[in-house]
């Protein structure tokens, strides 16, 4: 019968053990992409090879956001509706950018440019416009859906990639818009309501 002792009080010891076991026994899955903290939110950039994920991540880092993992992200199911993303130890602090090679983000930008772990809250998929198709484009609202990972539905938006688009700004706005939507603020609904009020006013 295994036995161990601790100088900690029972409730304190159980809290430590609970956290430790949650981390060690959590269901995990590795996904391809670049994981960053953008405006305090864990954001996973996905897309086909060569679409520009690493370049976009580098631009976001220069704008003050933080790198968690490049290329491979280990996701842990640490709570019923929570996935925690961490970087494999071998890849920690590194970002590969075509033409520049392997960059040490911590050495280039300092300690505040990297983060060890972050909860995943939003997936942004970079796609070519022809991958979405005319039926998928919505001029009033982001193309939004959800992607299930380890049984958790993660909100997902698709951002078309095209020459001249400032993708870093678009990602920041997508994150801000997601935060507003999570607070119950929906711009499209506000616009439709204003339009309906204008129509009703004309009718009277």
Active-site residue set: 32, 53, 71, 139
| CA dist., res. 193 & res. 204, Å (int) | 17
- 50 or 173, which is more confident? 173
Give residue 181's pLDDT: 86
Name, of 23-32, 60-69, 74-83, 174-183, the range with top average pLDDT: 60-69
| CA dist., res. 74 & res. 65, Å (int) | 20
Mean pLDDT across the stretch 168-180?
92
Question: Could you report the per-residue pLDDT of 59-70, keeping only the tens digit for each?
Answer: 999 999 999 999
pLDDT at 187 over 90: no
Give residue 97's pLDDT: 92
Mean pLDDT across the stretch 45-56?
90
Q: Which of 65, 70, 73, 76 is nearest to 41 (CA)?
A: 65
- E-state strands within the chain: 27-32, 34-38, 41-47, 66-69, 72-79, 82-86, 94-97, 101-104, 117-127, 143-149, 152-160
Give residue 135's pLDDT: 45
Give residue 129's pLDDT: 74
- 38 or 161, which is more confident? 38
Confidence of residue 169 (pLDDT cuts 50, 70, 90): very high
Question: Could you report the per-residue pLDDT of 88-143, keeping only the tens digit for each?
Answer: 999 999 999 988 999 999 999 999 999 999 999 999 999 887 776 654 555 555 65
pLDDT at 144 over 70: no
Give residue 132's pLDDT: 62
The length of the chain, given as a count of residues: 204
- Burial letters 64-97, b for 16+ CB under 10 A, else e: ebbbbbbbebbbbbbeeeebbbbbeeebbbbbee
> Which helix (H) or strand (E) segment is 106 a member of?
helix 105-109
Give residue 80's pLDDT: 87
Question: Could you report the per-residue pLDDT of 11-47, keeping only the tens digit for each?
Answer: 888 888 887 887 777 889 999 999 999 999 999 999 9
40 CB-side CA count, 13 A? 3
| CA dist., res. 188 & res. 6, Å (int) | 56
């Amino acid at each position: 019968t295994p036995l161990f002792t601790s100088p900690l009080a029972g409730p304190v010891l159980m809290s430590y053990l609970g956290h430790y076991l949650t981390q060690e026994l959590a269901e995990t899955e590795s996904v391809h992409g670049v994981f960053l903290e953008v405006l305090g939110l864990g954001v996973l950039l996905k897309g086909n090879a060569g679409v520009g994920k690493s370049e976009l991540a580098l631009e976001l880092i220069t704008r003050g956001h933080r790198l968690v993992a490049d290329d491979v992200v280990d996701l842990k199911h640490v709570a019923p509706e929570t996935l925690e993303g961490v970087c494999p130890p071998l890849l920690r602090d590194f970002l590969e950018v075509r033409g520049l090679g392997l960059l040490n983000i911590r050495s280039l930008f300092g300690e505040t440019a990297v983060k060890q772990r972050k909860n995943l809250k939003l997936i942004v998929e970079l796609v070519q416009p022809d991958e979405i198709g005319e039926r998928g484009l919505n001029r009033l609202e982001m193309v939004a859906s959800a992607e299930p990972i380890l049984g958790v539905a993660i909100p997902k938006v698709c951002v078309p990639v095209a020459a001249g688009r400032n993708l870093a700004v678009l990602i920041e706005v997508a994150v801000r818009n997601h935060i507003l939507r999570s607070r119950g603020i929906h711009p499209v609904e506000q616009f439709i309501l204003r339009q309906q009020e204008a129509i009703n006013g004309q009718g009277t």
